[in-house]
Chains A and B, each alone.
Chain A
Amino acid sequence: MRRSLEFVRRICILSVCAAMPVLAQARVDSRLPTNIFAPASTPAEAIFGLSIFVLLTVAGIFIVVFALLAYAVVRFRSRPGDDHSEPAQIYGSDRVELSWTVIPVLIVITLFLASARVIASVQGAVPPPGALEVTVIGHQYWWEYRYPELHIVTANELHVPVSDRAHPTPTFLTLLSADTDHSFWVPRLAGKTDLIPNHPNHTWIDPYEPGVFLGQCAQYCGTQHAKMLLRVYVQPPAEFERWVHEQEQPAQSAAPSTGQRVFESTACVNCHTVSGTPAKGRFGPDLTHLMSRDTIAAGAAPNTPSMLRLWIRNPDAIKPGSKMPAMGLSDQDVEAVASYLETLR
C-alpha cells in the first residue's frame, strides 16, 4: 500500500511538472481573488496538486476517445456514390471488450489512490502547538467569529496570522450554524466545508502570504445567500497581535451620546452586542469594534459613512431580504445612531 502511494505521489509530481506551462498560466491568474488554481495555503495546495493530476488524466482520455469518435464519423460515413449493400456485421469481441474494461479499471485505481492520499492528509491534520482556534458560526446571512482563547468576538471579517512553512501557525476552524446550512469557502485557502446545525464540522488553513482572501457562502441558506460574503485578513504576526489587542478592548466609554440613547432604547439591542453596554443581542453581528471593519452587511457594502446610514435607514436597499429590519427612525435619529456607531473603533 505504502509503495503504491509513493508511486502515485511520484506520478503526481511528474504530472505537475509536465503541467508547468498550464500551471504558470494559472498562477498568473492569482489576481483573480477566488481562483481555485492559485492556492495560498496547504489544504488548497494539496487539492491543487491532485486536481492537476486528475485533469491531465481525463484530458488524456478525452483526446484518445474524441480522436476515435471523430475518425469513425469521418472515415465511416456513407457517401453519395455508395451502393446500398450492408457493411460486414460484427457482433462483438471478448478480447477487445476485456481491454477496454481492464485499462479503465487501472486508471480508476490510480485516481482513487491519489484522492485517498489527499483525503487522509487534509482531514487527518492535527493542530500543532501554537495553532489558533476559531469558532465560525453561520447565520442568515452573515458570519460570526469567536476566538475562545483570546475572548474576541467579531463578524464577517476573519483575521488570522500568516503561517510560516518552516514553523506553521495554522488556524483551526470549528464550524457551527445558528439556523440553516451554510458553507465556508475561501477557494485560495481551502476547499469548502459546510456549517450544519447540530453537526459541528472542522477545517483548517495555514496561509503562506499576507493579504485579504475572498470567498462566500457556498451552500444555499435562504433569500440573501448571494450576499453572505467572506473576507479573510491574513496578517504578519506583529500586525495580528496589534489587531488582537484592539479587539480585546471594551467599547469606548465616553459620555453617552444621543445616538447611544437611541440605539439602546430601540430594538437594535435585541440583536446586536456592544460590549460594556446594555446591548447584548446575539442575533446580529457584534458591533463593539464595528469601525475596525472594512465592510458592512457581510461584505455587501463598504463601511463608509453614507453606506452605514443607508444600511440603518433601509437595509433592503443594500441587501433585500436580509434579517435586519428598517427601524423607521427619523433622519435625525439615523444620523445620531450612525455617529454613535462611528465611535465604536
Chain B
Amino acid sequence: MHSNISEVSELPAAPPPFTLRLHHWVTTVDHKRLGVLYVLYALVFLVVGGIEASIMRLQLIRPHNDFVSPQVFNRMFTMHGTTMIFFMAMPMLFGFANYLVPLMVGARDMAFPRLNAFSFWMTALGGLLLYFSFLGGNGLYGAGGAPDVGWFAYAPLTAKTFSVGHSTDFWILSLLVSGIGSIGFAINTIATILCMRCPGMTMGKMPLFAWMNLVMAGLVILAVSPLSAAQIMLLIDRYLGGHFFDTQAGGSAVIWMHFFWVFGHPEVYVLVLPAFGFASEIIPVFSRKAIFGYSVMVMATVAIGFISMSVWAHHMFTVGMSPGANTFFVISTMAIAVPTGIKIFNWLATMWGGKIHLAAPMLFCIAFLFQFLIAGLTGITLAAAPFDWQLGNSYYVVAHFHYVIVGGIVFTIFGAFYYWFPKVTGKMYHETLAKLHFWLFLIGFHLTFDFMHVPGLLGMPRRIYTYEPGRGWDLWNLIVTIGVFFQAAGILAFVANLVWSWLRGKVAGNDPWDAWTLEWSTSSPPPVYNYAVVPTVLSRRPLWDLKHPEDPDWRYE
C-alpha cells in the first residue's frame, strides 16, 4: 500500500490523500476493512433506529398524547423494526464475523474476497433503498412517506389496495437486495470456515466463535431464501397481477405469515448465535479458565440450529391453527430451551472456580447472562400456547424480544466492541468511560424493558399510537420512556469512548487481555495479510500452549 501511495503522489494531478484513502476503503476486498465498514454502517443505523424508538416512546409517555400523528407513529415502528433487524443487528454481527473469523481460524482472508465486498455493498444499498422511501414513497410532494405496514408486513396490508404509493415497494426491494448480501456473506463464511483453517485446526479445535458463526451462516441461507421468495411473490402481487397474498382476489394472508416466520424465527438465532460466540470467547478469558464443556457447547449450537427451523408458527398461535398444530409448536418451541439452558450452565461453570476480572467486556457478558436468562424464561411463558393467546401481540411480547435482542445480543455486542477494540485499532479504550456506558445502559435497559412487561399483562396491545387512560398502563409507560434517556446517555458515552480512544487512546499492544485465540498473536491492528507465517495449532487455545509450555492444552483434548 505504501508503494501505491508513493506512485500515485508522483503523478502531476495527484488526488488529495483523503480521496485516495476513501478510494481504498470503497474498493477494498480486505476482510478486516470490510468488517469495519459493516460495523460502522451498523452503528449509523443503531443511532437512526434509536431515534425512531425515542419518537415512539415520547408519543407514548402519557395517554392521548399528540406528539406525532398516527401515520408518523406507524412509520416509526415499521422503520425501527426493519432497521434494527436488517441494518443494525445483522450487519453488526456480520462485520464482527468478517473481521474475526479469518483471524481466528488462521487464514489470510475470507474464501471469496470479492464476493465479500459485493455482499457488503448489497447490504449497504439495501439500507439506502429503505431510507429512500422517505423521499420516494409518495414522491417529493408526499415526502416522508416511509412504509407503515409493520416490520413483518402482514398481508393484505401490503396489497395495492391498502398500501398505495411506493413505500412498501422500497421496503420489499431493500430486504430483497440486502438478502442477496446476507446470503453472499453466509456462503463466504461457510467456505472460509470449512476450507481455510490453518494446519492443525480440526473442526473440533476451532474457537467456539467460529462454530457459532458456521451454524449462523447455515441458518442465514435457510432463512433468508424463503424471505426473498416471499418478497418476490409480493412484488408479483403488486405489479404483475399475482394473487399470492391478495385476499380480495382469493389469496392467503396466512401463507405470508408462514413465509415470514419461517424466516423470522431462525433469524432470531442468526442474531443470537454470534452473540453466544462473543460470550464464549470473552467469558473464558476474563474468568481465566478454558470454556467448560466445549463439545457440548458445539452440540448445543448445532441442536439450536436444527430446532430453530421447526418453531416458526409459535408466532401464529392466535391465527386459528388446529389444536394439533398448536400443540406441536408448543413442544418444538419449548425443546429449544434445553440446548439454550445447557449453554447458560456451561458459561456459569466456566466462571465457577475462576478468577473473574470485571473489566467492561466481562461486565457486559455478565449482564447478558442475567438478561438472557430472563428473556429465555419469558420465552417459555410465551411458548405455552394458551398463555400466548393472552400475551401475543401485547407489550409483554415487545418486552420479551427486546430482552433477547437488546439485553442479550446488544449487550454482548458492546462487550465485543470493548474486547476487540484494542485489536482493531491498536489503541486501548477508556475503561472508566466504558463502565459509565455500562451502568447508564444497564439502568436504562432495565427501566425500559422490565417495566414494559407490565402493561402487556394488563392488556395493552403493541403498535398503538395512543391509549386510553384508566387501564393501569399510564405509570408503566412513563417509566419505560424515562429509561430511554438513560439508554441514550449510555450510547453517547459509548460513541465518545470509541472516538476518543481511537484518536487518543493508549497503545494497546498485541495481547492486552492475555488471551488464547490466534488473533491475539498478530500485531494490533493486524497487517493486511494477517499472519506473516501461517500458524500451526495443536489445541483449542494455541496461545495458552505457547504461554504454558509446561501444561499445554493438547495433553487433555
CA separation between A181 and B257, bound complex, in Å?
11
B512 to chain A, nearest CB (A): 15
Which residues 391-409 of B sit at the A interface, judged by CB distance below 8 A? 391-394
Residues of chain A with a CB closer than 8 A to B71's CB: 223, 320-321
Contact with A along B369-396 (1 / 0, CB 8 A): 1100110011011011111111111100
Task: From B69, B292, B386, name the one whose CB has the most chain A CB atoms within 10 angstroms.
Answer: B386
A17 at the interface (CB under 8 A from B): no
CB-defined interface of A88-99 with B at 8 Å, one 1/0 digit per residue?
A: 111111001100
B221 within 8 Å of A (CB atoms): no
B287 interface contact, C-beta 8 A: yes
Binds A, one of B109-117, B150-158, B421-429: B150-158
- Of all chain A residues, which has the CB nearest B344? A65
CB–CB A104/B162 < 8 A: no
The docked-state distance in angstroms from the alpha carbon of A179 to that of B385 is 27
Measured CA separation A192–B377 after assembly (Å):
22
CB-CB under 8 A from B355, the residues of chain A are 76-78, 82, 86-87
B386 near A191: Cβ-Cβ < 8 Å: yes
Q: Which of B46-54, B136-144, B437-445, B454-462 contacts A (4 or more CB under 8 A)?
A: B454-462
Q: Distance (Å) between the CB of A252 and the closest chain B CB?
A: 32
Tell me the nearest residue of chain A to B256, going by C-beta.
A181
Overall SS of chain A's interface: mixed
Q: Are B70 and A224 in contact (CB under 8 A)?
A: yes
Per-residue CB proximity of A305-343 to B under 8 Å, as 1/0? 000000000000000110000000000000000000000
Picked from A51, A89, A93, the residue with its CB within 8 Å of the CB of B381 is A51
Instruction: Let me know if B356 and A202 touch, CB within 8 A.
Output: no
Return the chain A residue nearest B551 by Cβ: A89
Contact present for B458 and A34 (CB under 8 Å): yes
Which residue, of B148, B288, B294, B467, has the highest number of chain A Cβ atoms within 10 A? Answer: B288
Please report the C-alpha to C-alpha distance between residue A100 and residue B385 in the assembled complex, in whole angstroms.
Answer: 25
Chain B 76-117 interface residues, beta-carbon cutoff 8 Å to A: none
Docked-complex contact A198 and B471, CB < 8 angstroms: no
- Chain B residue numbers with a CB within 8 Å of A192 are 318, 389-390, 392-393
Take A72-B348, A116-B327 as given contacts and tell me if A58 and B393 are in contact as well, using a CB distance cutoff of 8 Å.
Answer: no
Q: Is the CB of A62 closer than 8 A to any CB of chain B?
A: yes
Query: Which residues of B have CB within 8 Å of A197?
Result: 156, 247-248, 253
Task: Give chain A residues whose Cβ lies under 8 Å from the Cβ of B378.
Answer: 58
| B251 at the A interface (CB under 8 A) | yes
Residues of chain A within 8 A (CB-CB) of B466 are 226-227
Total contacting residues, chain B, CB less than 8 A: 96
Closest chain A residue to B396, Cβ basis:
A36
Which listed residue, A90, A116, A119, A321, touches B292 by the CB 8 Å rule?
Answer: A90
A-chain residues with CB within 8 Å of residue B369 when the two chains form the complex:
69
Contact present for B373 and A65 (CB under 8 Å): yes
Given contacts A47-B386, A92-B294, A119-B385, contact A124 B150 (CB under 8 A): no
Question: Judging by beta carbons under 8 Å apart, are B338 and A108 in contact?
Answer: yes
- For B296, the chain A residues whose CB sits under 8 A away are 92, 97
Most buried by B among A62, A124, A175, A194: A194
Q: Is A181 within 8 A of B154, CB to CB?
A: yes
B119: CB under 8 A from chain A?
Answer: no
B345 CB contacts on chain A under 8 angstroms: 100
- Cβ-closest chain B residue relative to A65: B373
Q: Which of B120-128, B234-242, B271-279, B329-337 contacts A (4 or more CB under 8 A)?
A: B329-337
Which B residues lie within 8 Å of A104 (CB)? 337-338, 341-342
Contact between A36 and B253, CB atoms less than 8 A apart: no
The CA-CA distance from A183 to B358 in the complex, in Å, is 47
**CA separation between A229 and B472, bound complex, in Å?**
16
A218 to B295, CA, bound (A): 44
A243 near B: Cβ within 8 Å? no
CA A321 to CA B72, docked complex, whole Å: 11
Among residues of B, the one whose C-beta sits closest to the C-beta of A61 is: B377
**Given the complex, which residues of B lie within 8 Å of A175, measured CB to CB?**
320
- Inter-chain contacts of B463 with A (CB < 8 A): 220, 225-226
Contact A122 B386 (CB under 8 A): yes
**Chain A residues with Cβ under 8 A from B13's Cβ?**
none
Q: Which residues from B are CB-within-8-Å of A62?
A: 373-374, 377
Complex: how many Å from CA A116 to CA B317?
13
- Let me know if B377 and A58 touch, CB within 8 A: yes
The reply on B319 being an interface residue by CB < 8 A is yes
Q: Are A36 and B157 in contact (CB under 8 A)?
A: no
What chain A residues lie within 8 Å of B391 (beta carbons)?
A: 36
- Give the chain B neighbours of A51 by CB distance below 8 A: 381, 384, 386-387, 390
Establish whether residues A115 and B252, one from each chain, have CB atoms under 8 Å apart when the complex forms.
Answer: no
Candidates A33, A72, A196, A199; contact of B351 at CB < 8 Å: A72
If A36-B457, A72-B351 touch, does A196 touch B319 (CB 8 Å cutoff)? yes
For the complex formed, measure the closest distance between the CB of A124 and the CB atoms of chain B, giving whole angstroms. 6
Q: Indicate if B18 sits at the interface (CB-CB under 8 A).
A: no
B326 interface residue, CB < 8 Å from A?
yes
Known: A73-B351, A101-B338, A191-B318. A46 touches B386 (CB 8 A): yes
**CB-based contact B389/A191 at 8 Å:** yes
Q: Closest CB-CB distance, B495 to chain A, in whole Å?
A: 28
Q: Does B468 belong to the interface (CB within 8 Å)?
A: yes
A187 contacts the other chain (Cβ, under 8 Å)? yes
A36 touches B352 (CB 8 A): no
Partner of A223, one of B70, B289, B322, B385: B70
Stretch of A131-139, A209-217, A282-290 that contacts chain B: A209-217
Residue ID in chain B nearest A116 by CB atoms: B327
Is the CB of A267 closer than 8 A to any CB of chain B? no
A50 and B386 contacting across the interface, CB-CB below 8 Å: yes
Chain A residue numbers with a CB within 8 Å of B528 are: none
Interface contact A36-B459, CB-CB below 8 Å: yes
In the complex, the chain B residue whose C-beta lies closest to that of A103 is B341
User: Does A247 lie at the interface of the complex (its beta carbon under 8 Å from any beta carbon of B)?
Assistant: no
A222 in contact with B157 (CB, 8 Å): yes
As a 0/1 sequence over residues 283 to 295 of chain B, the CB contacts with chain A under 8 angstroms (1 = contact) are 0000111101111
**A91 near B319 (CB under 8 angstroms)?**
no
- Complex CA gap A208/B386 in Å reads 20
State the CA gap A28–B132 with chains docked (Å).
51
- Residue A7 at the chain B interface, CB threshold 8 Å: no
CB contacts (< 8 Å) of B254 on chain A: these are 196, 199
Return A9 CB to nearest CB of chain B, in Å. 14
B177 at interface, CB cutoff 8 A? no
Write the nearest CB–CB distance from A230 to chain B, whole angstroms: 10
Q: B398: shortest Cβ distance to chain A, in Å?
A: 12
Contact sample, A vs B, 13 pairs, CB 8 Å cutoff: A51-B384, A87-B354, A91-B294, A92-B296, A97-B342, A111-B384, A123-B323, A123-B326, A216-B461, A218-B393, A225-B464, A226-B464, A226-B467
A69-B348, A72-B352, A108-B334 given; name 15 further pairs at CB < 8 Å: A33-B459, A47-B386, A51-B381, A72-B351, A93-B293, A115-B387, A118-B386, A181-B154, A193-B389, A194-B320, A219-B318, A219-B393, A222-B162, A223-B74, A226-B466
The 4 closest A-B pairs by CB, nearest first: A191-B389, A34-B459, A226-B464, A201-B320
